[in-house]
Amino acid sequence: MRTETANPRTTDLDAMSTLEVLQAINAEDRTVAAAVQRVLPAVARAVDLVVAARQQGGRLVYVGAGTSGRLGLLDAVECPPTFGTAPSEVVGLLAGGDGAFAVAVEGAEDDEDLAVADLEALGVGPADVVVGLAASGRTPYVLAALRHAGRVGAGSVSVACNPGSPVSALADVAVEVDTGPEALTGSTRLKAGTAQKMVCNMLSTAAMVRTGKVYKNLMVDVRPTNAKLVDRARRIVAGAAGVDEGRADAALRAADGHAKTAVVMLLAGCDAPAARDRLAAHGGRVREAVAG
């Protein structure tokens, strides 16, 4: 596996100065975006699979162990505040449970029965998409999860950093980001982890864009659950509608804090109930709601 081979550019890592170590790591990191760029067509197919699932009430379910699983869980927990989704819409399953986020659970990644039990507990079925994250491409927990997804008719995506990975053979869409040898041999929390984070960012963000959670490039479904997000929602409404923050604040209050509703109110010149009706009639898409 390329992720496990020694990197000829960093064989003297232990003899380098602090700055040289950082320069070596940074030089390797600069190759990651290009590696992800090469697999964008596969990522696009994965996004379309997630979009189709969301349109029929299905879920995006990340599955992984160790760093890979933590990255999936991290992406999942960021979706509700960013896109106003319910916690059940994007889910992260980490081998060993949520407690394994902070403390490694020995042997969990090798437990295939655990993966099946986790997916069964979630009730994964034909409407859902399971995304298996595995830098090596051979993690037993992920392999078992993808096999189970196939048995129950769920869509499946694999994200690995080794070409020809076993997980790829089990997925409807295989995303293989060839990040090559790590600066520190076998430490896939480095380039492979960065690549997986980038792919997760793309999967969730593009899927939410395609399902009406974004207007222009603004998070109009943001949940203003703290002072920072209240201020952000006000600025989003002001920018989207081309009004000052005073008018944006008034619209937000009338819309019960829902930025998307406030934007439609201001752009379509209607009250909150009418804005909600417009959004409901157009699948939550602001452009169509304003035009319609």
Q: Which residues are catalytic?
A: 78, 109
- Residue 107 identity: G
Residues 6+ apart with CB under 8 A from 144: 112, 113, 115, 116
How big is the chain, counted in residues? 292
In this structure, the dihedral spanned by the alpha carbons of residues 11, 12, 13 and 14, taken in order and rounded to 10 degrees, is 130
Q: How far apart are the first and last CA of the chain?
A: 54
- Are 131 and 101 contacting, i.e. CB atoms less than 8 angstroms apart? no
Q: 134's torsion region: left (phi>0), alpha (psi -120 to 50) or beta?
A: beta
Structure-token match 């593009």, residue found: 206
- Residue 158 identity: S
Angstrom distance (rounded) from CA 290 to CA 267? 6
